[in-house]
Structures are given as C-alpha cells and as structure tokens.
Amino acid sequence: MCIKRGVLCEYNSFQVFGASSSAGEGGGGDVVRLEEKPVGNRLWWFGPYSDWLRVVKMVNPLALSQEELFSFLNKFFVESNCLLNFPFVRSDRNPIMDPIKMLGPKYPVIQNVIYTVVSNALETQCKDSRWREVKDQFMDVSYGSLVRLISEENGFEEDVCTLFGVLLLLSERSTGYAPLWRTHLRGASGLLERHIDKTGYSNPEYPIAQAVETLYCVVRTWFSIVETAAVLTTTKGGSVSSPDTLIKALDDTPFVTRVPGLYFNGFNIAKGYGQDLVPLFSRTAVLVFQQKNNLLTHPEAVKSAKDILSDLETVNKQVFTFPDQFDDTWTKLLNCSHLLFCQSLRLSLLRNILQKDPKDLKDLLKEFLDVAETMPFAYCVSIGIHWPLFTAGLCALQIEHRAKIEEFLQSIIGRGIHVARVSLHRLHLWWESLDFDQDPLQTDVDSIVL
C-alpha cells in the first residue's frame, strides 16, 4: 500500500520551517523554505493563532518534495503542540515529544498517524482541498495498521505505540461521530486492559524502554480524560464494561505523577484541575455508569451524589501556586480552569443525578459564567476546557447565558483548537430542541466533547 501510494515509510528529523519572502497569500507554486529561526523569532503558540495560520496557508503541499512534505508535517505536529488537541498548556513543557522522536523510527504506525491527522488539520484549518490529496495518502495506511495491531497479541511497546495512535487519531477524526468514536475507544480500552497494572518498565540502560514508559504514562492519563468525558457526556457512555475496571481506568494518579511536566504542586496539568478533584470525577462517572445500568436505586444514587457534592465544597476552595513553573497569567488560567471544572461537575450532578430543573440552576450557572469571564481563554490550549463549557451549556436556558458560552467556545476555536466546534455544534442542536419542546436526547448530541 505504501509503494502504491508513494509513501516513504521512514522517520525524518525535525527541522524549523519559515515562509519564503516571495510566498503569496494564496500559496501559488511557492515552496516553504527552511530558515534557521521561526518566523518573527518567537515560537508560534505564544502569538495569535491567526498570524500563524496565515503563514501556513502560504504552503502549497503539491509543490513540496516528499522529503520536504514529511519534514513539514513533522514540524507542524511539534510546533502546534500535537495540533493543540493534546492536553498540555505549554509546548516547551510537553513531555510527549521526546518519546515520539525516539519511537518514530522503530514504529511507523506513529508516523503514519501523525501524517494523517496533521494533513486533516491543515485541510480543515486552511480550507485548502490540496491537503486532502495529501491526507488520502496516509489515511488507509493509518487505519489499516491500527486495526491490524489492535487485533494482534503484541508486546508492551507495540501496544503503547498503538494506543497513542488510536487516541491521537480519535482526537482529530472522530469527535463528531459517536459510533466511530466508541469504536476507537473500545480498541484503546482493549489495549489498556492488557497492561492496566503495568509499572516500572523503565530501564536506564535501554533508552527505548524509557521512552515507552513515558509515553505509556502520558497516554494512560489521556485515556483517563477521554473515558471520563465519555461516561459523563455521551448518552451510551464509554467503553469500559464494569465499575471496578472503570475506577482503575479513570485513576491516573500512578501515571501522571511519574512524568515531569504533568503534575505540579497538587495540580494535574494534563486534566486542567487539582488532583484532589480526580477521584470526585471518578466517583461521579461510576455513579453515572451504575445508574445507566440499573445497578443501584434512585435513593442510593441521590445519597452518593450528595456525598460527592459535599466533598466538592472543600476541593472547590483550593488555590494553587506555581512559583517556579508558571507566571501570573498561567497561574490565573490554571486556577480558573480548576474552578470551572468544579462548578461544571456540580452542575452535572444536580442536573443528571438529582434531576434538578435547569430553571433552578440559573444562579449556579451565573456563578460559573462569572468565573469564566476571568478565564484568559486567549492563552488556553487545553482540550479539557471544552467539557465544563459544554456541561454549562446544557443547563443554559436564557439567551444571554447561551451567548456567553458561545463566545467562550468561539474564543477557543479562534485559538486554533478546532475540535471546540464540535462542542458548539452539539450545544446548538441541544438548544434548538429545547426551544421547540423536543426531547434533546433524541437530537444528535451523543458524541464525545474533548
């Protein structure tokens, strides 16, 4: 298949790209030239996304040689912080890149998926159909190799690389389609369960093993994020089939604390909130799972929900400091993010478990929006923030509240995190069904909101 499609299955070292001075806005036949420094002498995620999108639009993919194309796709993946869909707030603190560089030459499945998702993102963001021609070169290869690897009994290294590929492909390709998304997550869940208790794989004398261990901890945390969102957000829930297994799957504590850059002073950078909130999300997810599967009575569910709400009052008051890691802007962003997750979890429990009427949640929703007003969304590059905004939107009846939530999501979209469009689209469908007295659960809202 690779020979047929002209795909060179080898890893290329990363290079720094800039735009040629003669490149026009429409791309024309110009080729992006290599430069020693990034455009504007600054890393692009610190500047407005629109500026960098304008630069990327100058690239004509069909005018690039195969080597230039592969190098560009690799570079864009790194510079965009995994397309801004991986939950880390700063690229220079993203621990996922070194393992990818280490494992890419050994496991082509990683490279094929990177080429696929970057081409897809560029087609979508640049509104340029030429990138579809590039994407089609890699799509069949990526899906085919993932399906094959999932079906095989592989070792730890192969499964870790495949799990990363599944989660990356899922975050870019399946956010709008619930059945396809669940198919991907089910495959990822199977890989996870093969090594659910795996620890201590690192070997100082074997660099590949260290890279695999780091990547496993990272994707294990990532899986916890998407599975939690699946159980709490989608109609049919996630892919894990029992409460005990679900608790293990959602708890990322043994993993997030082992990777430098994921955990600071009690704060889970990957998830965007304090680590003390993680078990409350897990308990809520298990509660929702039990309720959907008729494993407990309504009074039991109400009691459990009230216990979680009581514990949430303490966690909600936490304030985090990062004197050596983040400046005041990022400290404010992370503390606001924690509060938004706390308040959205409260709204979710009240609406879904305690079955409060959205009209009775108006004051709580107003408190949520007041916190969101102080959130510097212009700096936010984490996928996790979609969940609280989406959850709050499900409780919004007044047009003023809906407009604010839409504004916040649009701000994130403008930052380049285009999966936020899925959140907004689902809310539009939900609001329309409410306004026309239809059952919102019958509308197309059953999809993951990353």
Cβ within 8 Å of residue 56, ≥6 positions away: 76, 122, 125, 126
Question: Bigger pLDDT: 434 or 181?
Answer: 434
CB neighbour list of residue 124: distance below 8 Å, 6 or more residues apart: 418
**DSSP assignments along 266-299, one per residue:** TEETTTTEEGGGHHHHHHHHHHHHHHHTT-S-HH
Would you state the pLDDT for residue 74? 81
Residue 312: its H or E element: helix 298-316
| Whether the Cβ atoms of residue 234 and residue 447 lie closer than 8 Å to each other | yes
* Mean pLDDT, residues 374-397 taken together: 78
Distance CA 40, CA 27 (A): 19
Q: What is the pLDDT of residue 324?
A: 78
Secondary structure element (H or E) that encloses residue 142, with its range: helix 130-151
What's the confidence (pLDDT) of residue 317? 94
Query: Residue 332 class from Cβ within 10 Å (0-12 exposed, 13-18 middle, 19+ buried)?
Result: middle
> CB of 395 within 8 A of CB of 427?
no
Kindly state the percentage of the chain with pLDDT values over 70. 76
Is the per-residue pLDDT at 442 higher than 60? yes
CB 272 within 8 A of CB 417: no
Q: 122 or 353: which carries more pLDDT confidence?
A: 353
- What's the pLDDT score for residue 150? 82
CA distance 150 to 28: 41
Residue 155 structure tokens: 């070792």
Least confident of 6-20, 70-84, 176-190, 409-423: 6-20
- Report percent pLDDT > 90 for the chain: 21
333 pLDDT higher than 70: yes
CB 131 within 8 A of CB 119: yes
Does residue 379 or residue 424 have the better pLDDT? 424
**381 phi and psi angles, rounded to 5 deg:** -125, 30
- pLDDT higher than 90, residue 271: no
Write b or e for each residue in 417-442: b if 16 or more Cβ atoms lie within 10 A of its Cβ, otherwise e. Answer: bbbbbbbbbbbeebbebbeeeeeeee
What pLDDT, in 10s, does the model give residues 78-128? 766 666 555 444 445 567 777 888 888 888 888 888 888 888 888 877 888
How many whole angstroms from its chain centre is CA 358? Answer: 28
Pick from 107-121, 248-262, 393-407, 429-443 the range whose average pLDDT is largest.
Answer: 393-407
Q: Where are the domains of the chain?
A: 51-236, 262-449
How far does CA 352 lie from the centroid of its chain? 24
At 275 the pLDDT is 94
46 pLDDT higher than 70: no
Contact predicate 345/382, CB 8 Å: no
CA distance 159 to 150: 8
Task: Quote the DSSP letter at residue 149.
Answer: H
Longest dimension (CA), the chain: 69
| pLDDT value at 136 more than 50 | yes
Rounded to 5 degrees, what are φ and ψ at 267?
A: -110, 130
Q: What is the pLDDT of residue 191?
A: 85
Question: How far is the C-alpha of 447 from the C-alpha of 450, rounded, in Å?
Answer: 9
Distance from C-alpha of 358 to C-alpha of 335, rounded to nearest angstrom = 26
Under 8 Å CB-to-CB from 42, ≥6 apart: which residues? Answer: none
Question: Quick check: 379 pLDDT over 70?
Answer: no
Q: What does the pLDDT look like over 185-225, one tens digit per residue?
A: 888 888 888 887 666 666 667 888 888 888 898 888 888 88
Mean pLDDT (the chain) is: 78
23 three-class SS = coil
Nearest CA to 391 out of 417, 354, 421, 430 is that of 430
- Residue 308's pLDDT band (cuts 50, 70, 90): very high
